[in-house]
């Protein structure tokens, strides 16, 4: 496999056209383009990131239609993640669509037991302030830590005082660094890999904290 040279213009064109005609006929007629302009460069990118950040899985191009109202068969984006679990997964994420690149690291939606461990660690005297410090450091680098996929609670979680010094974080249901870039010419160059790499490397303090305090320890 040749080294990653960038995300070709053809990748963005393919998804723009798929958006206009999201059908099996279009897909079958353009399968070669998908292989060449989407799958090949993304595989090269994912392979190179995997050597540094551990195994990543590319998402399948077909949508899961079992519970979907929208029956269009194909995703209008391509991407990869280090965790298969939408809920409870803590890991790296990357997606590319006509609008640009979204990437990041973290827990988008915690399970109930992860959330309990997260809140206990936020409450604790050493680990709570450390989390706050990490969010400040990342924010200073232009990478704010977000509460993940779900809106934070409006009130204090049950059993916690509303005047807790870190009530802001206790309301969260996830914790992730998410970076979004709108489409730019640099994406067609190896700089795309470098910028994603920089975000993932910068997220290392958050990763270390989540690994110790939130991930299941019984793996």
| Coil, helix or strand at residue 77 | strand
Residue 2 lies inside a defined structural domain of this protein: no
Residue 118 lies inside a defined structural domain of this protein: yes
Residue 4 lies inside a defined structural domain of this protein: no
**Domain span at 60:** 9-64+71-213
Residue 1 lies inside a defined structural domain of this protein: no
Residue 219 lies inside a defined structural domain of this protein: no
23-67: pLDDT as tens digits: 999 999 999 999 999 999 999 999 999 999 999 999 999 988 787
**Angstrom distance (rounded) from CA 191 to CA 45:** 11
Report the range of poorest mean pLDDT among 11-25, 83-97, 100-114, 132-146: 83-97
pTM: 0.92
Q: Nearest 5°: CA angle at 32, between 81 and 4? A: 45
Residues shown for the chain = 219
Residue 36 lies inside a defined structural domain of this protein: yes
117-155: pLDDT as tens digits: 999 999 999 999 999 999 999 999 999 999 999 999 999
Please count the structural domains in the chain: 1
Residue 183 lies inside a defined structural domain of this protein: yes
Q: Write the CATH number for 180.
A: 3.30.930.20
Q: Cα(first)–Cα(last) distance of the chain, in Å?
A: 33
Percent of the chain whose pLDDT exceeds 70: 98
**Angstrom distance (rounded) from CA 152 to CA 172:** 5
Residue 218 lies inside a defined structural domain of this protein: no
């Amino acid at each position: 496999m040749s080294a990653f040279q960038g995300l070709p213009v053809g990748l963005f064109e393919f998804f723009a056209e798929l958006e206009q005609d999201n059908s099996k006929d279009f897909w079958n007629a353009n399968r070669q383009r998908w292989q060449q302009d989407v799958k090949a460069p993304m595989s090269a990118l994912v392979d190179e990131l995997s050597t540094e950040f551990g195994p990543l899985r590319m998402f399948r191009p077909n949508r899961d239609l079992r519970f979907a109202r929208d029956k269009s068969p194909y995703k209008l984006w391509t991407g990869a993640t280090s965790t298969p679990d939408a809920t409870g997964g803590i890991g790296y994420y990357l997606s590319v669509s006509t609008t640009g690149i979204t990437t990041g690291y973290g827990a988008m939606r915690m399970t109930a037991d992860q959330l309990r461990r997260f809140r206990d660690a936020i409450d604790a005297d050493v680990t709570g302030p450390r989390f706050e410090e990490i969010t400040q450091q990342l924010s200073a680098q232009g990478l704010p830590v977000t509460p993940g996929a779900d809106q934070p609670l409006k009130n204090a979680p049950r059993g916690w005082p509303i005047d807790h010094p870190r009530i802001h974080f206790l309301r969260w249901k996830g914790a992730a660094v998410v970076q979004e870039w709108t489409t730019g010419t640099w994406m067609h160059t190896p700089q795309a890999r470098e910028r994603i790499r920089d975000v993932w490397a910068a997220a290392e303090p958050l990763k270390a904290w989540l690994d110790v305090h939130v991930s299941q320890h019984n793996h």
